[in-house]
Amino acid sequence: MNEILERLALCIEFGKINKTSPYPPNMKGQDGADELAKLALNEGVKPDEILENALIPAMEIVGGKYSRKEIYVPQMLMSAKAMNSALAHIKPFFQSGETKRKGKFIIGTVAGDLHDIGKNLVAMMIEGGGWEVIDLGVDAGTDKFLKAINEHPGAVIGLSALLTTTMENMKNTVSAIREKHADLKILVGGAPVTTDYCKKIGADFYSPDPQGAVNYLKQLVS
């Protein structure tokens, strides 16, 4: 692999955002994801290659470590921040249509629920996996989901809930989406959600963590 991409992948894996970022201490003073993504583009590396050969594999490593509890939320957030700083250089190419995304993914935390840390991690990992993410934020009611679905036909839908009380709203939103868009794929997650609950409310897939969500989307387009 190109040496710049190898270094970029390490920055994502260990959460090195840019040169001035003090984290992680053993990479202090070195170029970060920001500088290296810019350098790779300047050296003529294609945005697709940066995504496919550095960002995605590095985020897969991060997701795997998180699933195995080898790292925790703070490290994952630093990796996600580093990834975002690299993505900022690549995004214009996706937006201009020069580089194709794998698909669209609409995600939101369900009505009445203000927890967004887990939802943001899932959104960032999926974006790092090459998907365009439409983030509806927190307290996203059924109408908000239906409006986004009309604006982005064919998108995969993701709902997050952290409260046992708002799981009921997850069920209502899934039912309303199913009524109008029987063919859409719906992914659910959040601490109180389970595979049984996913089946019960008629969603397609439950993932306990971001990497499972990325893998699910990956197999939808493979």
Strand bridging mode 104-109 / 132-135? parallel
How far is Cα of residue 159 from the mean position of the Cα atoms in its chain?
A: 13
What gap in Å lies between CA 8 and CA 177, rounded to an integer?
39
Contact 83, 75 (CB under 8 A): no
State in angstroms the smallest separation of the CB of 76 from ligand B1M: 7
User: 187, 198, 201, 203: which one contacts ligand B1M (CB under 6 A)?
Assistant: 187
Give the per-residue SS3 of 88-145: HHHHHHHHCCCCCCCCEEEEEEECCCCCCHHHHHHHHHHHHCCCEEEECCCCECHHHH
User: 57, 103, 112, 141: which one contacts ligand B1M (CB under 6 A)?
Assistant: 112
State in angstroms the smallest separation of the CB of 52 from ligand B1M: 23
State in angstroms the smallest separation of the CB of 133 from ligand B1M: 11
Check residue 135 for interaction with ligand B1M (CB under 6 A): no
State in angstroms the smallest separation of the CB of 60 from ligand B1M: 15
Residue 54 DSSP code: I
3-state secondary structure of 189: strand
Check residue 115 for interaction with ligand B1M (CB under 6 A): yes
Check residue 116 for interaction with ligand B1M (CB under 6 A): yes
Contact positions with ligand B1M (CB under 6 A) in 57-86: 73
CA distances from 160 to 22, 75, 121 (A): 32, 21, 11
Check residue 160 for interaction with ligand B1M (CB under 6 A): yes
Residue nearest to ligand B1M (CB): 118
**Closer to ligand B1M at the Cβ: 40 or 198?**
198
State the number of CA atoms in the 13 A half-sphere of 115 facing the CB: 16
**Closer to ligand B1M at the Cβ: 85 or 207?**
207
State in angstroms the smallest separation of the CB of 146 from ligand B1M: 17
Contact 149, 181 (CB under 8 A): yes
**Closer to ligand B1M at the Cβ: 8 or 159?**
159
3-state secondary structure of 205: strand
State in angstroms the smallest separation of the CB of 55 from ligand B1M: 19
Site of interaction with ligand B1M (CB under 6 A): 73, 107, 112-119, 121-122, 158-160, 162-165, 187-192, 207, 209-210, 213
